[in-house]
Amino acid sequence: MATASKVSDLSYEEARDELVRVVNELEQGSSTLEESLALWERGEALAKRCEEWLLGAKARLDAARAATGAAGPVLAGPVLVDRVAD
């Protein structure tokens, strides 16, 4: 792992990028059992952090929609999430 940053301090993008690296390293299968377990635990924490960010973004979108009286489904793609994160 390139970094041992505290997961709760990571931005969505940082957590997502590190999660991709963790998954790639696990898929290579060259780590020891102990290293694999540590990677798995880190990956779980990173996935949870990404989910927290996405749920927060959804809540902000829902609040903005409620404030403007918008109705109906809103497609929340990366562009909308990036705008909300400003």
Residue-wise pLDDT tens digits, 34-44? 999 999 999 99
Task: Count Cβ atoms below 10 Å from residue 19 Cβ, excluding itself.
Answer: 19
- For residues 74 and 65, the answer to whether their CB atoms sit within 8 Å is yes
Look up the pTM and report it. 0.71
Token reading at 20: 């991709």
Residue-wise pLDDT tens digits, 36-81? 999 999 999 999 999 999 999 999 999 999 988 766 555 555 544 4
